[in-house]
């Protein structure tokens, strides 16, 4: 380059001295790769410039944005964002490799409706309004456009709107809406549904592929408690109105140590399915110590259900905290499973997880993240399961060869029955899975 007839070396040329952004305000309905502003640089020699997001002071939210050419763009969606101020740091580099960096503050403008504190109506991300009971209305609130459920908000996948996975619940303990049915824990062998649920596969209410939007549960506020369902199961098959049979069935369970022990095993097994699966676990109050609602199938009101008129509804819904001590072994298993899930992201971020049915009622679940790997053996059948000797040193049929996977029936045994996570220091070879139980091994 010549300046006033004098040849100047590149190293002596001035570096860029400033960066400008044409607009720092963007709207919350912006899409990925949406335009925010045009970048320009101040440089006395008028070079061509290259822009990039830079590390350093002010680079708080760089990961949410991107630069293409001289355009600053959104990288993510900002629907339902709680923050309105975002900080980035941008660099400009001229043809000679000289650069300048500058922090910017971006402002998010809310154009989508937000929930109002004085109404039962809420806005779900895209501006559609849903009333308190899950019915969808147009923005004007016209009943003429009513649609069933907020399914579009769930399908959006970016709003954090999930749904209870009824498929999972029915697989674990059996459904009720098409008659009284049994599930996996009662040895009804819902194997394929259990496999899908464990790895967080799509279900009837969540087709996003985002496992965290599926609420996995075995008991909720409506329908039977898990304990009551298992008590009824001891006298199945059942049809019609049978609530009047609960007391005699309950008394029979309480009088028979073997029957009570069976229900406790089924409770623990259900807890393991829920708390170790890829999804968001949900536990109803008192479930962890076998809460009963006296067999009431739906205790929201004092009325007739199952052929019985329930007048003392508070008695049904009461939670007897003494059961925490009475069934402390069940309670401690819940505590231990929760601790395991909290401490190891293989059960919360197990994107590499797999599952397979080994036999009727027997499932092998490989919970695996980038950091941890566990294998869990569920045996919901009525008999102990012996692992075939051909698989003892391999991967138990998950589709990988010995050379590919070093973790099969061997691993460090994980105990949760004390309410804590206790991992053996030495490796264990698992050959049998007891009936109505689960075994956890850590790689």
What are the tens digits of pLDDT across the range 251-307?
999 999 999 999 999 999 999 999 999 988 999 999 999 999 999 988 888 888 888
pLDDT at residue 129 in the model: 44
Using the predicted structure, report yes or no on whether residue 396 has a pLDDT greater than 90.
Answer: no
pLDDT at residue 151 in the model: 58
Using the predicted structure, report yes or no on whether residue 23 has a pLDDT greater than 90.
Answer: yes
pLDDT at residue 219 in the model: 93
Using the predicted structure, report yes or no on whether residue 381 has a pLDDT greater than 90.
Answer: yes
- Summarised one tens digit per residue, pLDDT across range 42-84 is 887 777 899 999 999 999 999 999 999 999 999 887 766 678 8
What are the φ/ψ torsions at residue 101 (nearest 5 degrees)? -125, 150
Using the predicted structure, report yes or no on whether residue 200 has a pLDDT greater than 70.
Answer: yes
User: CB within 8 A of 284, min separation 6: which ones?
Assistant: 217, 219, 220, 221, 225, 226, 291
Q: pLDDT confidence of 207, banded at 50, 70, 90?
A: confident
End-to-end Cα separation, the chain, in angstroms: 63
Using the predicted structure, report yes or no on whether residue 124 has a pLDDT greater than 80.
Answer: no
Q: pLDDT confidence of 153, banded at 50, 70, 90?
A: low
pLDDT at residue 218 in the model: 94
> Which residue has better confidence, 136 or 160?
160
CB 88 within 8 Å of CB 65: yes
| Three-state DSSP class for residue 179 | strand
> Which residue has better confidence, 257 or 3?
257
Q: pLDDT confidence of 29, banded at 50, 70, 90?
A: confident
Q: Determine the Cα angle at 166 with ends 163 and 170, to 5°.
A: 160
Q: How many residues does the chain have?
A: 443
Concatenated DSSP letters for 396-423?
Answer: TTSS--TTT---SSEEEEEE-TTSS-EE
pLDDT at residue 32 in the model: 86
**Could you tell me the sign of the dihedral formed by the alpha carbons of 329, 335, 339, 345, in that order?**
positive
Is this structure's pTM higher than 0.85? no
Rounded distance, CA 75 to CA 58, Å? 18
Q: pLDDT confidence of 21, banded at 50, 70, 90?
A: very high
Using the predicted structure, report yes or no on whether residue 400 has a pLDDT greater than 60.
Answer: no
> To the nearest whole number, what is the mean pLDDT of the chain?
82
> Which residue has better confidence, 205 or 379?
379
User: CB within 8 A of 93, min separation 6: which ones?
Assistant: 16, 49, 50, 51, 52, 99
pLDDT at residue 176 in the model: 83
pLDDT at residue 393 in the model: 46
99: tokens are: 């650069």
Residue 436's nearest CA partner among 263, 277, 249, 259 is 263
Element (H, E) at 18: strand 18-21
pLDDT at residue 8 in the model: 47
Quick one: what percent of the chain has pLDDT higher than 90? 53
CB 292 within 8 Å of CB 250: yes
Overall average pLDDT of the 157-179 stretch: 82
287-291, 360-364, 409-413, 424-428: range with lowest mean pLDDT? 409-413
Number of Cα atoms under 13 Å in the Cβ half of residue 49: 28
Q: pLDDT confidence of 311, banded at 50, 70, 90?
A: confident
Q: pLDDT confidence of 141, banded at 50, 70, 90?
A: very low
Residue 377 bridge partners (DSSP): 364, 439
Residue 20's nearest CA partner among 46, 47, 42 is 42
> Cα-atom radius of gyration of the chain, to the nearest Å?
29
Overall average pLDDT of the 13-41 stretch: 89
């Amino acid at each position: 380059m010549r300046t006033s007839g004098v040849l100047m070396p590149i190293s002596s040329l001035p570096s860029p001295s400033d960066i400008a952004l044409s607009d720092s305000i963007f709207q919350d309905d912006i899409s990925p790769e949406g335009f925010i502003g045009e970048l320009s640089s101040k440089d006395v020699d008028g070079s061509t410039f290259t822009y990039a997001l830079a590390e350093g002071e002010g680079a708080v939210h760089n990961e949410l944005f991107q630069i293409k050419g001289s355009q600053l763009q959104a990288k993510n969606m900002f629907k339902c964002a709680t923050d309105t101020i975002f900080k980035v740091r941008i660099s400009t580099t001229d043809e000679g490799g000289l650069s300048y960096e500058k922090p910017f503050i971006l402002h998010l403008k809310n154009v989508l409706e937000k929930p109002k504190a004085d109404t039962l109506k809420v806005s779900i991300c895209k501006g559609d309004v849903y009333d308190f009971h899950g019915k969808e209305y147009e923005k004007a609130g016209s009943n003429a456009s009513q649609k069933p459920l907020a399914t579009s908000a769930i399908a959006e996948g970016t709003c954090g709107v999930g749904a209870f996975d009824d498929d999972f619940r029915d697989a674990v303990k059996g459904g009720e809406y098409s008659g009284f049915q049994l599930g996996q824990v009662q040895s009804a062998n819902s194997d394929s549904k259990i496999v899908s649920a464990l790895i967080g596969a799509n279900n009837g209410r969540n087709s996003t592929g985002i496992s965290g939007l599926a609420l996995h549960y075995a008991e909720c506020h409506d329908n039977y408690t898990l304990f009551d369902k298992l008590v009824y199961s001891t006298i199945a098959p059942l049809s019609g109105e049978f609530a009047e049979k609960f007391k005699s069935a309950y008394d029979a369970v309480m009088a028979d140590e073997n029957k009570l022990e069976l229900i406790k095993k089924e409770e623990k097994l259900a807890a393991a399915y829920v708390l170790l699966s890829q999804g968001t676990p949900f536990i109803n109050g008192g479930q962890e110590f076998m809460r009963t609602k006296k067999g009431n199938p739906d205790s929201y009101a004092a009325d007739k259900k199952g052929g019985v008129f329930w007048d003392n509804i508070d008695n049904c819904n009461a939670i007897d905290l003494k059961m925490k001590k009475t069934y402390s072994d069940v309670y401690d298993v819940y505590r231990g499973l929760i601790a395991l899930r909290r401490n190891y992201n293989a059960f919360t971020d197990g994107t590499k997880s797999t599952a397979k049915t080994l036999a009727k009622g027997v499932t092998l679940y490989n919970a695996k993240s980038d950091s941890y790997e566990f294998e869990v053996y569920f045996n919901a059948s009525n008999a102990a399961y012996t692992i075939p000797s051909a698989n003892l040193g391999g991967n138990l049929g998950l589709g990988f060869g010995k050379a590919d996977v070093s973790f099969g029936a061997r691993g460090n045994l994980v105990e949760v029955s004390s309410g804590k996570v206790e991992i053996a220091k030495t490796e264990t070879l698992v050959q049998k899975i007891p009936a109505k139980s689960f075994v956890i091994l850590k790689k």
